[in-house]
Structure formats: C-alpha cells, structure tokens
Chains A and B, each alone.
Chain A
Amino acid sequence: MRAQAIQLAYLLAAVLFTLGLHALSSPRTAPRGNALAAVGMLVAVVATLLMQEVVSLALMLAGLALGSALGALLALRIQMTAMPQMVALLNGFGGGASALVASAELLDYAREGVLPEGIVSVAVVLGVLIGGITLTGSLVAYAKLQELMPGAPVAFRGTNALNLLLLGASVVLGVLVVMDPLELPVYAVLAGLSLLLGVLFVIPIGGADMPVVISLLNAYSGLAACATGFVLGNSGLVISGSLVGASGLILSKIMCDAMNRSLLNVLFGAVGSGSVAGAGAGPTASVKGYTPEDAAVIFGNSRSVIVVPGYGMAVAQAQHAVRELANALERQGIQVRFAIHPVAGRMPGHMNVLLAEADVPYERLVEMDEINPEFPETDVALVLGANDVVNPSARTEKGSPIYGMPILDVDKAKHVFVIKRSMSPGFAGVQNPLFFNDNTMMIFGDAKKTVLAIVEAIRELE
C-alpha cells in the first residue's frame, strides 16, 4: 500500500514535469510550466520523505537545507551573461549525484552481502560511468567558460586514441562489475576512470563548440538519473530522466546542424586548436577603421537595421547598451530587429536571454531562416561580437573548416558595421572575408563602449 502510494506520487511528479516542459512551448505559458515542474519535484521529495522507511532523517534534512541554500545563492547571484557556466555547473552536480547514488546502492548490496539482479548491476555501472563523466566534464566546461582555464582546445597527439582506449577499458571494467558486482575494488577503478574520461572528453573541445557540449552534458545528466531509476526500481526517475535525456539530445542535434558538423566531429575534431591551415591569412588586404560618428550618420540615413549579436556582446556585457541603441534608432522611426544564429554565444538560446534581460521585446528576435531573406532589403547590418556565424566563406570556400555552416547573410545588407576589438580571427581560426568587403565598415573597440558612443553620436545629430 505504502509502496503503491509512493509510486503514484512519482507518477504525479512525472506528469507535472511533462506538463511543465510542454508549457515551455510559448514564453507566455513558460513561467507557469516551470512552476508546475517545481511542484512536481516537491511532490516527489515530500513523498519520499514521508513514505520511505527512512531512519536517519537528520542527515537528509541537513543535506536538503545545505543544498537549497547553496542552490538559491547561485541562482540569485549569477549574472545572465554567465548562464552557460551556471548550467554547466548544475549539470555536473546532477550527474555527480546520480553517480553517488549508484555507488551508495552498490555499497549497500555489498554490506548486506546480497547479489543485485543483473539489470541493477548494469544500471549501477551505467549510472556511475555516465554520472562521473557528466560531473568532471561539466566542471571542465565550467572552468573553460569562466575562463579559469584556456577556452581553446587543449589537445595533444593521440588524445582521441587515449580516450578510445580508456573508454574501451571502462567497458571491460563495467562488464567485470556486472559479472561480479560485489568486487568493490574493480568498481572503484571504474568510478575513477569515469571521472578521468569526463575531463579528457571536454578538454579538447573549443569555446565556440560549447553549445553542443553543454547540451550533450545535459542529456547525460538525464540519462544518469534514468540509470539510477533502474538501480532503485523507480519508474518516476526513469521517466523524468529520459525526458531530460531527450531534451539534451535534441538540443545537441540542433546545435550540430547549425554548424553543419556531426557530433563526432565536434567531440573529436578539436576544431580551433590552431592546426587549421591559415586560409586567407596571406593577403594583407587593408581594412579601414571607422568611428562611431561615421556610424551615426549612416544609421541616420537608414530605414531598417538588423543587429547580429554574438559571444562578444556577452563578454562586453553590451546588451543594455544595444537596447539603448535600438531605442535611439526606433525614436527616429527606424525598424530594428535582431538576428539570432542558433550557435551564437556559448549555449542554446544564450543571446535571447541576454536581450530579454535588456528589455528587448522578444518579437524583435528573429531566427536565422526567417531573417536571412531580409538582409538584401536592409540598410544596415550591425555585427556585434559575432564572427564565424557571419563568415561568407562558409558559403564559398570549400577548404574552409566552416564550409557548409549555415550563416547569417549580413554581407548582403547595403551597409555592414562590424564592431570588434581587433582583427584577430574567430574561434575557428579562419580569416573573415566579410571584413574586407566594400560595403563593410569596421569600428574597432570594446562592444559596449563603442555602442554607447554611437548612441551619443546619434543624439548629437538629432
């Protein structure tokens, strides 16, 4: 009876999660969706506390209190520009928790000298393997995004061979654990290996590929939860874990498609490590620098403007300045829209969140396929801290590492302003022919300061 009641509570939680995710299909219903999912979680936790035969309540409550305090602190203090790091960190914690749960269960079996069922052993192995990889992989992603370590790929000769070898070794160890689950030293080696694998998998992946990595780690954290569901024989965990797994997998695929690369290429290609033959590095075409005042004059004579934000906007915290510019332009009756490339920034939807924070109405944020036909009719395209996603050689140069990647066709606009700190190439290490086009005007400087200077210049012209 009690077991049934608790299963029903988990089912209710799973239903609430599904409804919550469903409500995320529109910004209008999304806040309610998030609240529904949170209620689902509360139901699951309370049911567990009330109905499980739990003896040492103190330890659990202490853990809940400590975790809640830390989680709330993180969530309320984090800046919107740092959202990718935040998500990476939370992902890692979820994966780590799953690995710990799988381990604790196995220890319990060992202490009681009971042999777990085959499916439980398999789930324990998967739980610790996926969970461990998620934990350290996410921590490395966090360190890269937070710039605690270099964002560029850290790759050495034979990285992939070593990873493959270690992965093979962990599969062998996994099989050994399944055959003899109570042989704990083997299990401990497997756990250690999974932590090492997480580090080695993410270290060779460069900053601009982070959207894929974060999505994939998101999927892993769901699958790890799913595995612990099998360990505990808990269908609620299985359902919720697979919802999250599906979500992460879909996002990974969308991100890969947006770069025209396969998942394998992202994970093992180490793109951006500088090994790329310097395409177009030879010709020292001259680029003319323009001033914010020049920009103000051209903006003043335009009727439509498309802003193309990239990671540089996040780095410079320029989203509020951009909003001011949009306001100044709109006051003159100029149409302003924002073109959002799916992989702009460091995680899916990164630019949307930043612009939302700066009070840009989301109706103005337009997706790539929708906005691309509009560029030829647009007077000014303003590229702000984006590089590879506006590189026309993705359309033309077969040898380029970004060839075939769908891009925003800013070069087709009548005028293009590019605000950039220097002429350094983008993440992919490829020179951008856009900068040398006749209709392109470069303004060198910090994104935020430059945009504010343009706003100032526009006001003076008024």
Chain B
Amino acid sequence: MLADPSVALTILVLALFLGFEVISRVPPLLHTPLMSGSNAISGITLVGALVAAGSEHVTLSSWLGFAAVVLATINVVGGFLVTNRMLAMFKRKRAAGGERAGRGGDGAGS
C-alpha cells in the first residue's frame, strides 16, 4: 500500500515521463493498435474492481464492483484481442512485401 501520498505522486509523475518517452517512439503506422492496446492496459482498473466486488458482505458496493469487473474485463479482453488481430495483419504484410523483387527494399525496423 502507498503509505505516503507524496510517494504516489512521485510515481505518477515519473510514470508520465516514462509514458511520454515510450509512446513517442511509436510510428504513426501503428497508432491504431497503440490506441487499442493502451486501451486494454487502462483496463487495469479491473484489479480495483475485483477488490470492490470481493468484499465480505454482498452489498450495493459489491454490485457496483461486479458491474465494474464486467466492464473492465470487456475492456481488457476485447482490447488485447482486437490489437492482436490488427498486429497480425501488419506482420503478415512483411512477408508479402518481401517477395516483390527489387522494390523499395525492406524499410522495417526504422
């Protein structure tokens, strides 16, 4: 648990900087998979939802938690699966592009 709010704030600020650094390297080509993938990651709120749904007594708050689990799981599972579907198409393309002789070379990895 986070004992001190200032620790949490420190983590927040550092993580934001990390995020800016990492995300800036993603090429526009992959911006849609980036959105759906990061979207799935934001479903991490599922962890909080599980805690809320799993409390001792079944009360209004555990039903709210249940609803949150459902929504967050759709977010997580849907997000990762659809990202995977998209990225598989980009991957397949490399092979298809490589067969065409002498055109444009293989510009990947830049």
A interface with B by C-beta (< 8 Å): 3, 7, 10, 13-14, 17-18, 20-22, 24-28, 30-31, 33-35, 37-38, 40-41, 44-45, 48-49, 52, 54-57, 59-60, 62-64, 66-68, 70-72, 74-76, 78, 80, 83, 86-87, 90-91, 93-94, 96-98, 100-101, 103-105, 107-108, 111, 117, 119, 214-215, 218, 221-222, 224-226, 228-248, 250-251, 254, 330, 335, 340, 342, 347-350, 352-353, 356-357, 359-365, 367
Which residues of B are found within 8 Å of A80, using beta-carbon distances?
A: 86, 89
Contact of B64 with A107 in the complex, beta carbons under 8 Å: yes
What would 16 more interface pairs be, CB under 8 Å, given A37-B40, A56-B62? A21-B22, A27-B30, A54-B50, A64-B73, A70-B74, A76-B81, A93-B74, A103-B64, A218-B42, A221-B42, A226-B12, A241-B44, A248-B35, A250-B24, A348-B32, A348-B35
Which residues from B are CB-within-8-Å of A350? 32
The docked-state distance in angstroms from the alpha carbon of A90 to that of B25 is: 24
Q: Is the CB of A97 within 8 A of B12?
A: no
> Which of A30, A232, A254 lies at the interface centre, i.e. has the most chain B CB atoms within 10 A of its CB?
A30
Contact assessment for A96 and B71 in the assembled complex, using a CB-CB cutoff below 8 Å: yes
A364 and B104 alpha carbons, distance in the complex (Å): 8
B50 near A45: Cβ-Cβ < 8 Å? yes
Distance from A32 Cβ to chain B, minimum over Cβ atoms (Å): 9
Point out the residues of chain B lying under 8 angstroms from A96, CB to CB.
Answer: 68, 71
List residues of chain A with CB within 8 A of the CB of B71. Answer: 67, 93-94, 96-97, 100
- Contact, CB under 8 Å: B90 / A104: no
- Identify the closest chain A residue to B56 (Cβ): A55
Known contacts A34-B83, A243-B18, A349-B32, A21 near B37 by CB under 8 Å: yes
Residues of B40-81 whose CB lies within 8 A of A: 40-56, 58-62, 64-81
Shortest distance from the beta carbon of B94 to any chain A beta carbon, whole Å: 7
Q: Which residue of the partner chain, among B50, B64, B80, B90, contacts A49 with CB atoms under 8 Å?
A: B50
B59 touches A111 (CB 8 A): yes
- Interface set, chain B 67-110, CB cutoff 8 A to A: 67-94, 96-97, 100, 103-110
List residues of chain B with CB under 8 Å of any chain A CB: 1-2, 5, 8, 11-12, 15-16, 18-20, 22-56, 58-62, 64-94, 96-97, 100, 103-110
Out of A67, A233, A241, A356, name the residue touching B70 (CB < 8 Å): A67
Residue of A57, A59, A80 most packed against chain B (CB within 10 A): A59
Q: Are B77 and A34 in contact (CB under 8 A)?
A: no
Q: Are A71 and B45 in contact (CB under 8 A)?
A: no
- Contact between B41 and A243, CB atoms less than 8 A apart: yes
CA distance A228 to B51 in the complex (A): 12
Q: Closest B-chain residue to A38, C-beta based?
A: B80
Q: Are B38 and A243 in contact (CB under 8 A)?
A: yes
A87 to B45, CA, bound (A): 17
Contact B44 A240 (CB under 8 A): yes
> Which residues in B have their C-beta under 8 angstroms from that of A24?
26, 30, 33-34, 37
Whether A72 contacts B81 in the complex (CB less than 8 A), given A21-B23, A97-B43, A221-B39, comes out as: yes
Given contacts A41-B80, A104-B65, A347-B35, contact A340 B28 (CB under 8 A): yes
**Interchain CB contact under 8 A, B90 and A356:** yes
